[in-house]
Amino acid sequence: MANLMSSIADVIYFDNNATTPLAPEVCHAINTACVNAFANPSSASVIGKAAKKLIIESRSEIAQMINADFTDIIFTSGGTESNNWVVYSAIKYYYSKMSEKVSPNDFKSVPLPHIVTTEVEHDAMIEPIQKLVEEGKAQASFIAVDPKTGSIDLEDVLRVLKEETVLVSVMLSNNETGAIFPVAEIMQRVKAASKEYGNCFCHTDAAQSIGKMKIDVKKLNVDYLTIVGHKFYGPRIGALYVNKPGEKTPLPPLFFGGNQERGFRSGTENTPMIVGLGAAARLVNENLELYRNHMYQMKMLLHDKLVEMFETGSERPCVFFNHPNVTDQSNCLVNTISVAFYDPEWKSFTASAVLNNLSKVVASAGAACHSQQHNDSSAVTTPSRVLISCGVEEHIALRTIRLSVGRQTTAADIEEAVVQLYSAVSMAAQTKI
């Protein structure tokens, strides 16, 4: 264990979009709750009530982080559950409403519910929708990304809306390219159009955005918003914002067997992790601009050093940044660089070869969840579907590494990492595989 801890301390960590380390304050909050808040929060005992109070406080911190009412925050196991729950809720709502209008004999003639999303969403949104389509329970439109902007066109969303559209889900920012999507404008127009087409709910997956940009659910015009703790230095649980759950916005339970979370999610609350999530939210509430400014400074330093080290010409390869506005804070996350190393002579050269040659730098070839067999990114032999959907050519996508800096990144880290990257690229290039 000591050797493992020593090796972790020596790592230069540029994979913060995959997961972030727990903030020290979060670790302290979790450890304290494990000792002092071990009682069942549903218990009427003094210590049970104390645990419940901590959960309420955490819920309030999370609500403040996204400018929501604290009663609109439901704790979940993470982003996958939250996203699946949103899809399930919309589909169940649609069929429930149709059953009120159509007799059982005519129900087979009811049009399938329609979902609109993008081609570059996280698998936790794409796969449940695809599963419903495959089973003949829903229809879906997947909006392509404009390679010129790295985002989607509002008009493309409006063009596919129809009477049976029950859900529009557009991520707030992309985990691989860092592209920020105009969710507020899209959902405002969708809401206006849905008055004509039908009752459509709006969702955004904010997993990559929290802790990197200011988030206001009211300005975003969304009914649902996904929160993932381990993306902003919190524990591996999550939460789902739902605008007046069960009243204004449908949220049918996924689990049964208790009345926790006001009947929406049965199961004894994981108090220590919820307290940790609240602590992570508190840090964002108190320090967001500090975090943003630091990460952006580190990202710009990384960008400039990459250009300097891998400048075009002589025997050095070119570097391609897979976001048209990688240095623009309004269009790209303050911490994310998706970069490809390319030379025409490297016929089969891939990002995996570079990653295998890195001794201290931790990065990834695309999203961690997209790695083949969910192993480490060195196993990736096919280009990221997200990059391909963004219009990145396959030979560039195969040579792409995602570098995501964090709160803990230093200028010294970047200096050393770029040198290591140059060495790793040079070693991989010499193989001429």
What does the pLDDT look like over 266-295, one tens digit per residue? 999 999 999 999 999 999 999 999 999 999
- Write out the two tokens for 361: 């730098």
Query: Same domain, yes or no, for 58 and 197?
Result: yes
Q: How far apart are the first and last CA of the chain?
A: 37
* Inside any domain, residue 53: yes
Q: Give the C-alpha separation, 431 to 359, whole Å.
A: 18
Query: Same domain, yes or no, for 261 and 347?
Result: no
Domain boundary among 238, 253, 282: 282
Query: Same domain, yes or no, for 234 and 351?
Result: no
Catalytic choice (200, 318, 369, 390): 369
Rg, the chain, Cα only: 23
Q: Per-residue pLDDT for 370 more than 70?
A: no
Q: Per-residue pLDDT for 202 more than 50?
A: yes
The CA-CA-CA angle for residues 210, 214, 220, to 5°, reads 95
Structurally, how many domains does the chain consist of? 2
Q: Give the C-alpha separation, 197 to 2, whole Å.
A: 61
Q: Give the C-alpha separation, 291 to 283, whole Å.
A: 10
Torsion of CA 40, 43, 48, 53, to 10 degrees: 100
By mean pLDDT, which of 54-58, 63-67, 380-384, 397-401 is the weakest?
380-384
Query: Same domain, yes or no, for 292 and 278?
Result: no
Length of the chain: 433
* Inside any domain, residue 16: no
Q: Per-residue pLDDT for 359 more than 50?
A: yes
By mean pLDDT, which of 208-217, 305-314, 363-372 is the weakest?
363-372
User: Given strand 165-169, what is the order of strands in its sheet?
Assistant: 73-76, 238-242, 224-228, 201-205, 165-169, 114-118, 139-143
Query: Same domain, yes or no, for 93 and 215?
Result: yes
The predicted structure's pLDDT at residue 131: 98
Tell me the residue range of the domain where 109 lies: 46-282
* Inside any domain, residue 29: no
Query: Same domain, yes or no, for 296 and 230?
Result: no
| pTM of the predicted structure, to 2 decimals | 0.93
Count Cβ atoms below 10 Å from residue 219 Cβ, excluding itself.
13
Q: Do residues 205 and 39 make contact, with C-beta atoms less than 8 angstroms apart? A: no
Query: Same domain, yes or no, for 71 and 214?
Result: yes
Determine whether 202 is an active site residue: no
- Write out the two tokens for 96: 């429930």
Query: Same domain, yes or no, for 242 and 294?
Result: no
- Write out the two tokens for 18: 């995959």
CATH (domain of 82): 3.40.640.10
Query: Same domain, yes or no, for 254 and 382?
Result: no
- Write out the two tokens for 144: 């392509």
